[in-house]
Structure 1
């Protein structure tokens, strides 16, 4: 059964139910050849869900690295991933950026506006995540983080004036169905399919993304 995400245009995105974190992590390694690594998880404490890191003020409860060497830990081995999530079935699924993809992170409202413009422009999209903290991440070819500032300047914007960030080497994204505290789970706004196995370059998407973020300033 599918359930929709509450709020504005997010109601158009069906929540993906019934997929375990283990199955999803293995699928990402096997079908997309993405590296994965287990992050923190949620623990019940006094009737509330808290991050396993123990910080009551954690900014991303249940959805951040559990170790400082996470970048070296990340693997594309389905066998290793299966073993990790068999040991810790509730661990978040984190994907390092700067390897097989970078991600362009924008506010949810700007992301939906950009998606509508991209559809009218008939642009090819890669996977896009929608997070419970109202952010969207557009997967693009690696190297976007280095290109982004100059691309934004060419469009007439100051890179610091837009709520738009490229996540590249040394960063990561949380993958569905990872949960963020009590706010819900990460979802696919555009799910991975054979049709979007080949990712777009950031140059192809930056115009509608920058326009949408400019509208949301």
Structure 2
């Protein structure tokens, strides 16, 4: 089970309680949300530090990336399949392929919280939202949203390359809570999956608040625009 960190609706982030296992979450994602899941790398301890199981000391996402190039063939929506895979390596990251049951829109954390507040004021539909320990927020949208996002951003008057708004669809994946990324900490839910947000929004319903928030982030002093 999860408890919530934060005192306002906008800042609520569930926290994993002691005893919860990655396997439990992988099975719940498959059973309750019908999301495909697959296991990734994991963290190994040594010399007082934690290292990615891939063996790369400069790993960009230690303990939170795919273990092989054909990861797409590992993904399963079967709870029994998830139990089998995490039974072999209980510490493996929980990874979710995008472009199947959902796409994602990935923005800076500050822009994400600003967009959440605006979405709630406007009473716009909202699906689950992930908060990552490297200060990103990931909004789940209907499949196909990633492909539409650049044109939607242009329709709002922005050049897609000028905003730190990253759409991901077919061929990509994300790390799901409670996966830990190196020494940064766990991936968490900013808006956890519930029966009420089972039906995901279309990217078109979120793109204006997200683009506006990313534009505000871009204009802050000291912020470097994305390439």
Give the TM-score of the pair, scaled to structure 2: 0.91
Residue 88 of structure 2 is aligned to residue 83 of structure 1: no
Deviations 1:106-156 (A, max 9, x none): 010100000000010101110000000111100000001110111000000
Q: Displacement of 1:60 after TM fit?
A: 0.5
Alignment of 1:117-136 (within 5 A): 117-136=118-137
> How many residue pairs get matched?
214
Equivalent pair of 2:156/2:208 in contact (CA under 8 Å): yes
Which residue of the partner structure matches residue 103 of structure 2? 102
Give the equivalent residue in structure 1 for 2:158.
157
TM-score (norm 1): 0.95
In structure 1, stretches of 5+ residues that fail to align are: none
- Where structure 2 has 5 or more consecutive residues not aligned to the other structure, the ranges are 219-227
Question: Could you list the runs of 4 or more consecutive aligned residues of structure 1 that deviate by over 3 angstroms after TM superposition?
Answer: 1-5, 9-12
Distance 1:3 1:124 in 2: 21
Q: How far has the Cα of 1:17 moved from its partner?
A: 1.8
Instruction: Report if aligned partners of 2:14, 2:192 keep a CA contact under 8 Å in 1.
Output: no
In structure 2, the CA distance between the partners of 1:123 and 1:151, relative to structure 1 (3 Å rule), is: same
Q: Any conservation in 1 of the 2:11–2:113 contact (CA below 8 Å)?
A: no
* CA shift for structure 1 position 3: 7.1
Whole-angstrom distance in 1 between the partners of 2:194 and 2:11: 21
Indicate whether 1:72 and 2:70 are aligned: no
**How large is the Cα RMSD of the aligned pairs?**
1.6
